[in-house]
Amino acid sequence: MIKSNSIFKNNKFVFFNEAAKPIESASILDKETPNRDIRHQLADKNAMEAITPIPKSELGEFYKEKTEKIDNTTTELDIKKINEIAIEDLRLSSRILTAESENESDEVKYNGIKEETARRIKTFTSKCEDGWFTLDYKNVDKNRAEQKLSHELYTGLGEICAIDPDIKNLIVEADGKQINAHRGIVPSGKHKGRLAFLDENNEYIATYSGDKFKIVSNKASNPKDPDSLKEYIKEIETNKEQKIKYSERVKEDIEEQIRFESTDISSYKADIDPNKGPVVDQLIHNLSAQQKANARIIEEEFTKAGVPANIIAAAIVNSYKESGISMVQSKCRGNYNGHEDSWGLFQINIPARTKNKAEADALRERVQDPRENCKEILKSVLGKRGKRLREAAANGASVSELTAIFCYDIEIPAHRGRISKQRAYFATKFFPSRIEDSKPAEAIAGKFNGSDIAFIGDSYAQGQWMAGMNKIIPKERYFGKHSTTTAYYIREIQKGNPKLIGAIKDSKLVYVKLGGNEYFKGLAHFQKNMQQLTALIKELNPNAQIAVAEMGPSKDSKKLDPAKQQQKDAVNQWIAQGGNGLFRPFLWAQTVADNSDKTVFNPRYNRTKEDDGHLNSQGFRKMNEQFVQEFLA
**Which string of DSSP letters, residue by residue, matches 7-43?**
EEETTEEEEBTTTTBTTTS-SS-TT--TTGGGGGGGS
Integer Cα distance of 42 and 23 in angstroms: 29
- Indicate whether 419 and 450 sit together in one domain: no
Q: Is the pLDDT of residue 265 over 70?
A: no
Task: For residues 72 and 172, state if they share a domain.
Answer: yes
291-303 pLDDT, tens digit each: 999 999 999 999 9
Same domain for 351 and 211? no
Domain count across the chain = 3
Same domain, 365 and 449: no
What pLDDT is attached to residue 607?
Answer: 57
What CATH number is attached to the domain comprising 576? Answer: 3.40.50.1110
Residues 403, 291: one domain?
Answer: yes
Say yes or no: 578 and 536 in one domain: yes
- Average pLDDT value for residue range 87-103: 84
User: Mean of the per-residue pLDDT values for the chain?
Assistant: 81
- Both 215 and 354 in a single domain? no
In a domain? residue 12: no
Residue 204 and residue 304 in one domain:
no
**End-of-domain residue from the set 224, 254, 275:** 224
Are residues 534 and 473 located together in one domain of the fold? yes
Same-domain status, 119 and 191: yes
Do 80 and 210 sit in the same domain of this protein? yes
* pTM score: 0.45
Residue 27: pLDDT band (50, 70, 90) is: very low
Taking alpha carbons only, the member of 14, 11, 63, 242 closest to residue 167 is 63
Has residue 236 been placed in a domain? Answer: no
Q: What is the pLDDT at residue 555?
A: 56
From CA 391, how far away is CA 353, in angstroms rounded? 25
The Cα 578–Cα 547 span in angstroms is 9
Strand partners, 509: 453, 545
> pLDDT category, 437, cuts 50, 70, 90?
very low
Domain limits for position 56: 33-224
Q: Is the pLDDT of residue 20 over 60?
A: no
| Section 54-58 average pLDDT | 67
What value does the mean pLDDT take over residues 20-46? 36
Q: Residue 177: left (phi > 0), alpha (psi -120 to 50), or beta?
A: beta
Q: Is the residue at 21 inside a domain?
A: no
Q: How confident is the model at residue 566 (pLDDT cuts 50, 70, 90)?
A: confident
Output helix, strand, coil percentages for the chain, rounded to the nearest 5: 50, 15, 35
pLDDT digits (tens, 9 = 90+) for 351-400: 888 888 899 999 999 999 999 999 999 999 999 899 999 999 998 888 99
Query: 601 near 619, Cβ under 8 Å?
Result: yes
Q: How far is CA 349 from CA 66, 382, 614, in A?
A: 44, 18, 36
Let me know if residue 256 belongs to a domain: no
Give the domain CATH number at 328: 1.10.530
pLDDT in tens, 247-260: 777 666 655 555 55
Judge whether 68 lies within some domain. yes
Residue 295 CA to residue 309 CA, distance in Å, equals 13
Q: State how far the Cα of 586 lies from the Cα of 456, in Å rounded to an integer.
A: 14
Identify the domain boundary among 190, 224, 258: 224
Last residue of a domain, one of 194, 224, 254: 224
From CA 300, how far away is CA 302, in angstroms rounded? 6
Task: Identify whether 8 is part of a domain.
Answer: no
Same domain for 87 and 113? Answer: yes
Q: What is the pLDDT of residues 451-507, one digit of tens each?
A: 889 999 998 998 888 888 888 888 899 999 888 999 999 999 999 999 999 999 999
Q: In the sheet that 545-549 helps form, which strands lie side by side, from edge to edge?
A: 478-480, 453-457, 509-513, 545-549, 584-586
Is the model more confident about 516 or about 369?
369
The answer to the question of residue 473 being in a domain is yes
Instruction: Note whether residue 399 is domain-resident.
Output: yes
pLDDT on residue 559: 53
